[in-house]
Amino acid sequence: MINWALTTKWLNHNAHGSATSDAHSKDVAWKIKTSTITLPTLGILNRNFPDIIKNRTDCLPCNSEMETNHHIWRCPVILPRLLTTCD
Ligand SMILES: [Zn+2]
């Protein structure tokens, strides 16, 4: 079940003050991509650009499995960093 009131508050939160700042635009883009599972992870980049990525799909921070949109939320290195920045 999606809490739409909380989701709207999260999407509209601006930690940068100015509504037209580059940092705020970058944050909004990241929020939309993470919530729609469209972050350009190494798994997706390797699928779309195999000659550029050269079969490099493992998560760069932990090297334990393929970097996917689902792995980002379970990664033992990334998840603690995300939780720390939410404080
Ligand atoms: Zn990882």
74 C-alpha to ligand 1 centroid (Å): 7
pLDDT of residue 74: 92
Nearest in space to 55 (alpha carbons), one of 68, 66, 71, 69: 66
DSSP code for 3: -
- Segments making up each domain of the chain, as ranges: 31-87
CA of 11 to the centre of ligand 1 (A): 25
Q: Residues lining ligand 1 (ion), CB within 5 A?
A: 59, 62, 75
19-78 pLDDT, tens per residue? Answer: 888 998 998 998 899 888 888 998 888 888 888 888 788 999 999 999 998 898 899 998
pLDDT at 85: 62
